[in-house]
Amino acid sequence: MGWNSRLKMPNPGLDQRVLSHAQLEKLEVEEAGERPKWDNKAQYMLTCVGFCVGLGNVWRFPYLCQSHGGGAFMIPFLILLVLEGIPLLHLEFAIGQRLRRGSIGVWSSINPYMLGVGIASMCVSLLVSLYYNTIIAWVLWYFFNSFQEPLPWSQCPVNVNRTGLEWECESSSPVDYFWYRNTLNITSAIDEPGGLQWWMVLCLISAWAVLYVCCIRGIETTGKAVYVTSTLPYVVLTIFLIRGLTLKGSISGIKFLFTPDLDELSNPATWLDAGAQVFYSFSLAFGGLISFSSYNSVHNNCEQDAVIISIINAFTSIFAATVIYTIIGFRATQRYDDCLAGNILTLINMFDLPEKSIDDSNYASSLSHLNSTYPAIISNLQLKTCNLNTFLTEGVEGTGLAFIVFTEAITKMPLAPLWSVLFFIMLFCLGLSSMFGNIEGVLVPLQDLKVFPKSWSKEAISGVTCLVCCCIGLIFVQGSGNYWLALFDSFAGSIPLLITGFCEMVGVVYVYGIDRFNEDLKFMIGHKPNIFWQSTWRVISPLIMLVIFLFYFATTISKELFYISWDPESVTFPTLKQKPYPVWIYIIIFLLAGVPSLAVPGAALFRAIWKRYC
């Protein structure tokens, strides 16, 4: 109606490319069509929840929450969830359900010139699948190593002469050593490949094998697997919450997480980080959600699904953050107590004072008394400063959280192997259920693009895809693999997604036509979408996406790019050293971020030229 109808772009031939409502109805009634279907609604919901809820909810959100003003971060997060996340989710579900195709099929149906959006989604899904499964391989390695007492990362190994502990371990910590040396066997720079690490190759193969067995027949097998992979993380999180709350110091962790600092709300970075987190957390623009939704019955209530899944995703983020921070609070308190005990021991040894004469409560007063009486001796002792807040803010994001901080906390808990096994099973399930969506976003476009011969069965197609991805993924299991992974994570999974997400909204609202879309929704769910959906789809959400994209683009282009490396020979060891990227990496960065992004206009241009000259 009104001004928006005139804003619609001309789109000839749309009726020939999409099924009409009557045809859809017929398809529905006769259950015709080769398309796979969900066995029941629960499978669909669990698959979508599993795809959305991933490792980011556990190791990115808590860090953002704590660093951007604790409880106050909920405000921008929830606002942007409602204004950006839910509308985009509803849009993807509705368009998939209506057009009943995967991402390439959907965008080429809407307009053949929009094929590039589908190709961009496929490229991003492929690049993300490659490195995401490597993270799952790391999780599997830790899982395999959890079946021993004591845990291998709880103590330093003895050096070759058996005279002392391994130097690299002693100067850092057993958990750091196990992660950087025993797991990654990391080199000190990205241009030192370091060779393939055979144990990680085995773990990578097992990660891809497990993925293959779950995706072998598409949603027929995935739908069964999600009963476990989507529900188990919640069970484990609950167990950890109960365990965590009974540990000393957990409450200080939760307080630290949620203490609101309302000043952070005036910082634009808070809002941008919240927006980005909402966008990436929902796994939008990967194409997987469109694909999953297309297997639904035509009259499925996608509006309700979108709202429910958004609420579940937000709840999971907050729940996981609470659990993580009870454990982090425990670890920080342990470290603080150890630090204090070390200082107290030094003092009583030096002055031959009786044990327990200095304890936690009178440490400060005793120290100041001794300092005033013997200042020279005290300064020679080089006592460490023990600050609880420092320990609480240490390395609590990403792989550092899971493989260093959390594993250290687990070693201090009784029955450590049990908690370790539970934790890594949870991470494995979270990662695997997200991989289902990523792989769906790769397999279905490949089939739509007819890359494989028609005679090949589903099993063969998924097998070949997994095999090829596994072979390419060997980049990430060499010595410098972690640096490559960080590179892929920063550039392949960020800017192209924002561009694709923006184009999706614009494509549906202005190319497909919001009026037609409203009519479709009325046909599918029985009522026209209300003013909230109209305003967010037409104006608010695309605007938010555009602002986030511009900001990210500007910051990435303007700053010098560097990475942090583990360099035992550096002066600042064990602190990670910042190194600039070598020049040839910039080409790789351009390929990672540029190729999917440029596929959007590129495919349109290619088609225009092809049409003109053929």
Q: Which residues bind other proteins (CB under 8 A)?
A: 13, 16-17, 19, 23, 30-34, 101, 105, 108-109, 112, 140-141, 143-145, 147-148, 157-158, 162, 164-165, 199, 202-203, 205-206, 209-210, 212-213, 216-217, 221, 345, 348-349, 352-356, 454, 457, 459
The DSSP element (H or E) to which 216 belongs, if any, is none
Looking at the Cβ atoms of 355 and 560, the one nearer to other proteins is: 355
Q: Find the shortest distance in angstroms from Cβ 210 to other proteins.
A: 6
Q: How many CB atoms lie within 10 A of CB 385?
A: 7
CA distance 497 to 548: 11
Task: For 111-132, give one letter per residue: b (16+ CB within 10 A) or e.
Answer: bebbbbbbbbbbbbbbbbbbbb
CB 16, min distance to other proteins, A: 6
Q: Give which of 121, 136, 224, 212 is closest to 441, Cα–Cα.
A: 121
Helix (H, G, I), strand (E, B) or coil at 607: helix
Question: Smallest gap, in angstroms, from Cβ of residue 104 to other proteins?
Answer: 9
Tell the smallest beta-carbon distance from residue 13 to other proteins (Å): 8
The nearer residue to other proteins, 23 or 555, going by C-beta atoms, is: 23
Residue 464 or 588: the one with the smaller Cβ distance to other proteins is 464
The CB-of-301 to other proteins minimum distance in angstroms stands at: 25
Q: Which is nearer to other proteins, 458 or 579 (CB)?
A: 458
Question: How near is the Cβ of 303 to other proteins at its closest, in Å?
Answer: 26
Between 147 and 562, CB nearer to other proteins: 147
- 3-state secondary structure (DSSP) of residue 415: coil
Give min distance, CB of 515 to other proteins, in A. 21
Least distance between other proteins and beta carbon 432 (Å) = 12
Q: Counting beta carbons within 10 angstroms of the beta carbon of residue 157, is it exposed (0 to 12), middle (13 to 18) or buried (19 or more)?
A: middle
Tokens of 604: 């349109």
| Least Cβ distance, residue 604 to other proteins (angstroms) | 13
Q: Compare residues 36 and 568 and give the one whose CB is closer to other proteins.
A: 36
Q: Exposed (0-12), middle (13-18) or buried (19+): which is 22, by Cβ within 10 Å?
A: exposed
* 458: alpha, beta or left? (left if phi > 0; alpha if psi -120 to 50): alpha
Give the SS3 label for residue 331.
helix
CA 369 vs. chain centroid, Å, equals 51
| Cα gap 566→573, rounded to integer Å | 8
- CB-nearer residue toward other proteins: 144 or 553: 144
Give the pair of three-digit tokens for residue 594.
């540029």
Cβ proximity to other proteins, 106 vs 525, nearer residue: 106
**What φ, ψ does residue 579 adopt, rounded to 5°?**
-130, 145
Q: By C-beta, is 40 or 148 nearer to other proteins?
A: 148
Of residues 483, 475, 486, 424, the one with CA closest to residue 153 = 424
Q: Identify whether the C-beta of residue 495 lies closer than 8 Å to the C-beta of residue 503.
A: no
Would you say 276 or 511 has its CB closer to other proteins? 511
Rounded least distance, CB 349 to other proteins, Å? 6
**Angle, CA 265 vertex, CA 262 and CA 268 arms, to 5°:** 155
What lies within 8 Å, CB to CB, of 136 at 6+ separation is 207, 211, 428, 431, 432, 435
DSSP state of 18: S
